[in-house]
Amino acid sequence: MSPHSPGRPQNRLNFSGGPGALPASVLLQVQQAIAEVPETGLSILGISHRSDWFAAVISELETNIRTLLGLSADYHVLLLQGGATQQFSMVPMSLLHGKTRPAEYLHTGYWSGKSLPEARREGPLRVVWSGEAGGFRRLPGDDELPFSADAAYLHYVSNETVEGLQFHRVLGRDDVPRVCDMSSDFLSRPCEASRFSLIYAHAQKNIGPAGVTVVLLRDEVLRNAPDDLPGFLDYRSHIETHSNFNTPPVLAIYVVLLVTRWLIDDIGGVARMDQINRQKAELLYRLLDGSHGFYRGRAAARDRSMMNVAFNLGSPALEQQFLAEALAAGFSGLPGHRAIGGVRASIYNGLTLAAVEELAVFMEDFQRRHG
Ligand SMILES: *Cc1c(COP(=O)(O)O)cnc(C)c1O
């Protein structure tokens, strides 16, 4: 493996779309915690979710998320299970069920597409804009988004992980509750959290392993929620129990805590994280743009994602060769999502600028040999 270096806890660089790369220092702490969490004398895999130690983990994690995003006290910070997919249902079950006013949804790619049928099950829905006919290669401009004042809420995905499309502005009207799936760019940049009524993000793209989903929500958004929801699917159950309604994923939550400590102490906050993420993304986009068509970026330049750089090569055969050689050279996770193929370099928080530089060197060399 050429990118191997001493002290790195894994042999390959991880460009996977998710579960994604985590900081090396976090992985080393997790190894230690699996052997023993010093304060408890126990392996984290066997620590009770009712312990004081775990209550302190939840409490510090909540505080760290509030600090990183500058969240005001009127937001609840919940740690739930079921992934972002469960939020596709939980959101309309609480906010749309029994309503006559439609919720407005944007259909900007693979993941927002998955949210639509779940919402339709619960109530009326209006798709304000769809990029499907155009193959999801761009996002709408404001002049293409006729939002209405009487919508139940607006739902959109801030970063379309599969297609590599990202909104670089907040959408919608201030008098309609905004709901956003930030699964693949949460804590990668400042997000003006106070302009959203509900934000959800599972951990496994940017902030931890699979198994835990962060939900930030304002009380008022639940004002008219139905009273007969299953307890597990009712946000109020999790609010009342401080995210300890049933056995939570203790290990996954602990890893997210370690990532937030790393963001605060080692990186210096989400604005600094954003600068680093932009450097990584710009390095790759410059390379695509300067390759004279050898590498072809998928997304319209204005809507390019800072997290997922999706591109194609001249032919499927050349793409296969690229992916095989990249894997042999130590770059893992580069095949595009099975829905669209191609190549996708996911460059989440945990992946270093140095790793992206190594990939860029490989890509330039590959082009020299095959261009
Ligand atoms: C990966 C992803 C999902 C799906 O998440 P699960 O945790 O697997 O349910 C949803 N939305 C976005 C934006 C994603 O990137």
Pairing assessment for the beta strands 165-166 and 213-218 based on DSSP bridges: unpaired
Cβ of residue 156 lying under 6 Å from some atom of ligand 1: no
Can you give the CATH number for the domain in which 312 is found? Answer: 3.90.1150.10
> Do the Cβ atoms of 222 and 94 come closer than 8 Å?
yes
Q: State residue 6's pLDDT score.
A: 45
Cβ of residue 19 lying under 6 Å from some atom of ligand 1: no
**Which of 220, 238, 267 represents a domain boundary (last residue)?**
267
The rounded distance, in Å, linking the Cα atoms of 303 and 68 is: 25
Q: Are residues 164 and 309 in the same domain?
A: no
Can you give the CATH number for the domain in which 138 is found? Answer: 3.40.640.10
Q: Tell me, yes or no, whether 218 lies in a domain.
A: yes
Ligand 1, from 183, 187, 215, 338: best to mutate by most atoms within 8 Å of Cβ? 183
What's the pLDDT tens digit per position in 243-267? Answer: 999 999 999 999 999 999 999 999 9
Spatial CB neighbours of 65, under 8 Å, sequence gap ≥ 6: 71, 77, 187, 214, 216, 260
Q: Are residues 201 and 252 in the same domain?
A: yes
Cβ of residue 206 lying under 6 Å from some atom of ligand 1: no
Q: Tell me, yes or no, whether 19 lies in a domain.
A: yes
Domain that holds residue 153: 27-267
Ligand 1, from 16, 79, 81, 85: best to mutate by most atoms within 8 Å of Cβ? 85
Cβ of residue 185 lying under 6 Å from some atom of ligand 1: no
Cβ of residue 90 lying under 6 Å from some atom of ligand 1: no
What's the pLDDT tens digit per position in 28-76? Answer: 999 999 999 989 999 999 999 999 999 999 999 999 999 999 999 999 9
Q: Tell me, yes or no, whether 6 lies in a domain.
A: no
CB-based burial, 330-355: b 16+ in 10 Å, e otherwise:
bbbbbbbbeebebbbbbbbbbbbeeb
The rounded distance, in Å, linking the Cα atoms of 107 and 94 is: 21
Cβ of residue 312 lying under 6 Å from some atom of ligand 1: no
Q: Are residues 237 and 274 in the same domain?
A: no
Q: Are residues 50 and 183 in the same domain?
A: yes
Q: Tell me, yes or no, whether 212 lies in a domain.
A: yes
Ligand 1, from 111, 160, 191, 344: best to mutate by most atoms within 8 Å of Cβ? 111
The pTM is what?
0.96
Element (H, E) at 182: none
Q: Are residues 274 and 162 in the same domain?
A: no
Q: Are residues 197 and 48 in the same domain?
A: yes
CB-based burial, 63-95: b 16+ in 10 Å, e otherwise:
ebbbebbebeeebbbbbbbbbbebbbbbbbbbb
Q: State residue 11's pLDDT score.
A: 80
The rounded distance, in Å, linking the Cα atoms of 144 and 129 is: 7
Q: State residue 3's pLDDT score.
A: 46
Residue 233: which of 354, 132, 87, 71 has the closest Cα? 87
**Which of 215, 246, 267 represents a domain boundary (last residue)?**
267
Q: How far, in Å, from the CA of 240 to the mean position of ligand 1?
A: 26
Residue identifier of the C-alpha nearest atom 3 of ligand 1: 84
Q: State residue 105's pLDDT score.
A: 98
> Do the Cβ atoms of 349 and 263 come closer than 8 Å?
yes
Q: Are residues 244 and 323 in the same domain?
A: no
Cβ of residue 237 lying under 6 Å from some atom of ligand 1: no
Q: Are residues 41 and 173 in the same domain?
A: yes
Q: Are residues 150 and 262 in the same domain?
A: yes
Q: Tell me, yes or no, whether 3 lies in a domain.
A: no
What is the SS3 assignment for 262-285?
A: HHHHHHCCHHHHHHHHHHHHHHHH
Ligand 1, from 105, 157, 179, 202: best to mutate by most atoms within 8 Å of Cβ? 202
Q: How far, in Å, from the CA of 183 to the mean position of ligand 1?
A: 6
Cβ of residue 20 lying under 6 Å from some atom of ligand 1: no
Rounded mean pLDDT of the chain? 96
Q: How far, in Å, from the CA of 369 to the mean position of ligand 1?
A: 36
Cβ of residue 161 lying under 6 Å from some atom of ligand 1: yes
Q: How far, in Å, from the CA of 264 to the mean position of ligand 1?
A: 25
- Grouping H, G, I as helix, E, B as strand and the rest as coil, residue 213 is strand
Catalytically annotated residues: 111, 181, 205
Spell out, as residue ranges, where the chain has pLDDT lower than 70: 1-9
Q: Tell me, yes or no, whether 16 lies in a domain.
A: yes
**Which of 249, 267, 285 represents a domain boundary (last residue)?**
267
- Grouping H, G, I as helix, E, B as strand and the rest as coil, residue 129 is strand
Beta bridge partners of 129: 106
Q: Are residues 238 and 275 in the same domain?
A: no
Q: Are residues 302 and 194 in the same domain?
A: no
Q: Tell me, yes or no, whether 2 lies in a domain.
A: no
> Do the Cβ atoms of 8 and 358 come closer than 8 Å?
no
Residue identifier of the C-alpha nearest atom 4 of ligand 1: 84
Spatial CB neighbours of 354, under 8 Å, sequence gap ≥ 6: none
Sort 8 into a burial class: Cβ within 10 Å, 0-12 / 13-18 / 19+.
middle
Element (H, E) at 157: strand 154-157
Q: Tell me, yes or no, whether 4 lies in a domain.
A: no
Domain count, the chain: 2
Q: Are residues 126 and 216 in the same domain?
A: yes
